[in-house]
Amino acid sequence: MKWRRAELTVKIGVVGATGYVGGELLRLLLNHPMAELKAATSRAYAGKYIFKLHPNLRGRTDLKFTPPNLEAIASECDLAFTATPHGAAMDYIPSLLERGVKVIDMSADHRLRDPEAYPRWYGWTHKHPELLERAVYGLPELHRSRIRSAALVACPGCMATTAILGLAPLVKEKVIDEGHIVVDSKIGSSGAGANPTPASHHPERAAGVRPYKVVGHRHIAEVEQELSSLTASPIRIAFTPHAVGMVRGILSTIHTFTVEPLDNPRVWRIYRSFYKDEPFIRLVKDREGVHQLPNPMILTGSNYCDIGFELDDHASRLIVFSALDNLVKGAAGQGIQCMNIMYGFDERTGLEHPGLHPV
């Protein structure tokens, strides 16, 4: 039986618990010593046991999916995770906040501070733009102090997380050309969600590398928003994702161009200074072995983001490699890391899984 201090237990509901992110939230929360999972909602699967859809949770809980009844969630829960499709969470969140429930939104509905950005990047108008100022961008490495007192946290996109974490120290230190940054991301099929489309269906990507949405991807907005907050001038990035055959994981290869001579010790100091106290950032740049630079394979199931780099003196280029599990540090794990901060728990609580090897 899990040890629990009742006075520190947070009662939690997951709204939209049937997708891959919802499933990972349930898995991690069920193993969290300070969390009590009270509700997991689904219209389509209401009344069915959670393990019928998430078979890895068989024997871990007898909880059943329930319809998304906001009054019931508010009466039972201190905190709700909203893991609904983009554009849907904004229908639920105002009512939850009004009832005193804290919210961690896993969708894109509150990531952008400018309401005018939503029509441009997502194709719809935000229904509650007044909440965008209240929402705190849920990247602990940049916004820990604000997350601590937040009632509404907007978790970042998974590919955006790799880009921001890989670039933030360099942008802060002003050692790269802020107008010429190229982010090339490779992402596994789980990043497309649990409901396959002809493009996301795994057999269409299993043996290939397919570029998609090669310009104008919506993650650009949050990457530029967050990086621009670290410097006096607006940051512009070029971003192109690729669908690859792995199920989990992201590797972002980030091409930057230096504005002053750099050597390896200097770059090490920049990253170590910025991330010196971060429990889930690991710097990876080895001279021996197979895994000399970040590889998402070994991060499967973990909340780590591995960051490495190489200097290219020939082209005045600094290449950054940033890898994570898109469902954990790129989604559910990051949400729980934010929850730990909000309630004053050790950030690592429930998230210390080191990852699997081999997979």
- The answer to whether the peptide bond before residue 241 is cis (omega within 30 degrees of 0) is no
CB 153 within 8 Å of CB 326 = no
Q: Closest by alpha carbon to 169, among 312, 277, 315, 269? A: 269
Q: Is the dihedral of CA 198, 202, 300, 244 positive or negative?
A: negative
Q: How far is CA 275 from the centre of its chain?
A: 17
Tokens representing 79? 């905190």
CB 50 within 8 Å of CB 65 = yes
Q: Closest by alpha carbon to 252, among 348, 330, 356, 136? A: 330
Q: How far apart are CA 101 and CA 114, in angstroms?
A: 24
DSSP string spanning 284-330? ---SSSS-SS--GGGGTT---EEEEEEEEGGGTEEEEEEEE-TTIII
**Catalytic residue check, 155:** no
Q: Which of 77, 155, 158, 305 is catalytic?
A: 158
Q: How far apart are CA 331 and CA 295, in angstroms?
A: 18
Q: How far apart are CA 222 and CA 235, in angstroms?
A: 11
Q: Which residues are catalytic?
A: 158
